[in-house]
Structure 1
């Protein structure tokens, strides 16, 4: 062992030490029988045949990019190659792995192969949760109309499940980092079901469409809380799906047939009248995927932001999504035309990697788009209309359709802050999500697809709109303006902005009337 020199150890010298009967790291101790069985298996790994080639490169450079098939021995063998080469320097070797299970399993395997106990020459370090009585849970705040993501106490059932994990794969003890009083008095018996922490609009409309008019007395397994139900009735009324007596309208029955949130029926109807229904179907598909198509891995987040800028639309996040989707479809078609399927798939994967786009999500959107096109044709008895991309009204019509369908999710800019808005009627403050394409532009009015709260309140899937597109809707009439207890306007800024929009339109129409034919 004393003859080993840093960065000069050959593969043969290290192999000689590994093949010896005596343990090189333990005086007066011989290798175990199991060690030699593992050693025989190690020598059959593909990486072992390249040991000297690896050491030659390792001795000559500071950075190595090593690539090989899974199971070839990279994780377990390379650290041991380096261990014998760096033995004289007494330096540590770090091997990072993506999960705690992978780290502990790899460490145990390397320790067994070196015939040492875990925690001596070989160990591992993993992140442990020191807040064992808390869990991050999603919810819905009906007063704000926003989705929440908060840390809340776990349930008693979850606590028992967590305690049962100790000792499952190896000896262990569960220490609960909370008092018995908290467990008995604060923790719920079980985790609350989704019906108690979700927007109920889709469920209420579906029950109405199925003929259950008295939703409040429906025989739920777990009855919903009244407040989210009232919020659902209010939103559905403004959408035009429920009448004043809470009965379902004809439009509501049609909207209930959609596989996505019923608000998109209004979006399809508005887009159809404006000649951009095909684009709206694409946007609806992209907004209803399970994940975002935009990848932003932490080590490459700045490169990802730069890559996404080519798709960015400064007036609409939805149109940014559509730009990326159209680029993907166009690129995919070009590659499939120029080369075979296998080569085209590989080229598309590389293009998506460089653009930091999730191809799986894009393909999910392709499938959902096809389904929504079929639903549109069935509901409206017509084929979707493709808008003229060269028209100056291309983006205006799409944004107008979004504005007139998601008006109940509108917000006006707060003059007191940058990228800070207040929801119309609710008057709840919220900032633009940092990933929004509209950050830093400060549009006066926006409609949003998502309102969420975790550490901050954010609006996401935001589109800038002109208040003139909204002034004819009942939601924005003077009688429906939010008022304080003393009768004063809660949001005078909204009132005056809409009044200016009405005056501007009247002045424009008057000017047209005075223009000679």
Structure 2
């Protein structure tokens, strides 16, 4: 999660625009995760850090690996990755100072890793959740609890899949509104979140009673979690 936080705080995208994993012909397609743009980015920086470690090990043997060239071949921005490393180092130090321990590393090869990461992201971004707006076409979503409509960024790996529930990193307002850096989630992962308690669901009119502003989202949430649920999840 520290690595994901560091990626999200870089000023520049780690993928070169128009050449990243979202292009089906792009060389960086190897990093793609079709349930999570966050995990796609994580796969990319993990490969980069491994390549740097490999280059450092071989340098002692007189063998040179062109890491900048490797980044270029894989549509990765060296400038953004260098910035990412600096941010990650600071976050790891802050973690160690706060908890008196070194952060533990997820094994990305684990079969449960993707689900565990997506569940953690669901909680971390529980204030940035969107629900599929089925009647408005493919990849159209409405943001809970504001009912704002938006599409997916054309650079998202989730385009065309129409996941029912997603969390997102940024809501972009240009001539078209869209969600940037998106991860698919299951609504039951949000049980116990403050934003999903009964009193937090927006109503069409002011007051404490009346129809919900987003009845389909509410119905989908209750179908997954049970009506009126406010129990804490136990996934951790």
Q: How would you bin the TM-score normalised by the shorter chain? A: 0.7 to 0.9
Q: 1:302 to 1:431 in 2, by over 3 A?
A: closer
Q: 1:342 to 1:283 in 2, by over 3 A?
A: farther
Q: CA deviation at 1:329?
A: 1.2
Instruction: Could you tell me which runs of 5 or more consecutive residues in structure 2 were left unpaired when the two chains were aligned.
Output: 230-236
User: Equivalent of 2:14, from 270, 290, 293?
Assistant: 293
Q: CA deviation at 1:343?
A: 6.6
Asked if the contact 1:445/1:467 (under 8 Å) is kept, the reply is: yes
Q: Does 1:460 align with 2:183?
A: no
Asked if the contact 1:471/1:498 (under 8 Å) is kept, the reply is: no
Secondary structure of 2:50's aligned partner: helix
Instruction: Could you tell me which runs of 5 or more consecutive residues in structure 1 were left unpaired when the two chains were aligned.
Output: 1-279, 507-517
Partner of 2:49: 329
Partner of 1:275: none
User: Equivalent of 1:426, from 143, 146, 149?
Assistant: 146
| Separation of aligned partners in 2, 1:341 and 1:428 | 57
Q: 1:388 to 1:301 in 2, by over 3 A?
A: closer
Asked if the contact 2:37/2:181 (under 8 Å) is kept, the reply is: yes
Asked if the contact 1:315/1:464 (under 8 Å) is kept, the reply is: yes
| Separation of aligned partners in 2, 1:455 and 1:323 | 31
More strand as a share of residues: 2
Partner of 2:220: 497
Partner of 1:471: 191
User: Equivalent of 1:371, from 69, 90, 111?
Assistant: 90
Partner of 2:112: 393
Q: CA deviation at 1:296?
A: 3.0
| Separation of aligned partners in 2, 1:301 and 1:470 | 29
| Separation of aligned partners in 2, 1:377 and 1:440 | 41
Asked if the contact 2:31/2:44 (under 8 Å) is kept, the reply is: yes
| Separation of aligned partners in 2, 1:408 and 1:391 | 28
Instruction: Spell out the pairing of 1:300-319 with structure 2 (5 A cutoff).
Output: 306-319=26-39
Partner of 2:3: 282
Asked if the contact 2:22/2:29 (under 8 Å) is kept, the reply is: no
RCO greater where, 1 or 2, for CA within 8 Å and sep 6 or more?
2
Partner of 1:446: 166
Cα deviations across residues 422-450 of structure 1 (Å, max 9, x unaligned)? 00110000000000111111111111110
Partner of 2:234: none
Task: Report the more deviating stretch, 319-328 or 372-381.
Answer: 372-381
Q: 1:496 to 1:321 in 2, by over 3 A?
A: same
| Separation of aligned partners in 2, 1:281 and 1:479 | 32
Instruction: Spell out the pairing of 1:35-434 with structure 2 (5 A cutoff).
Output: 280-296=1-17, 306-339=26-59, 344=64, 347-416=66-135, 417-434=137-154
Asked if the contact 2:22/2:157 (under 8 Å) is kept, the reply is: no
| Separation of aligned partners in 2, 1:317 and 1:301 | 10
| Separation of aligned partners in 2, 1:384 and 1:374 | 9
More helix as a share of residues: 1
| Separation of aligned partners in 1, 2:164 and 2:138 | 11
Secondary structure of 2:134's aligned partner: coil
Cα deviations across residues 315-339 of structure 1 (Å, max 9, x unaligned)? 1111111111011111222223223
TM-score (norm 1): 0.41
Query: Moved runs in structure 1, 4+ residues, more than 4 A?
Result: 300-305, 340-343
Asked if the contact 1:332/1:344 (under 8 Å) is kept, the reply is: no
Q: 1:344 to 1:288 in 2, by over 3 A?
A: farther
Asked if the contact 1:471/1:501 (under 8 Å) is kept, the reply is: no
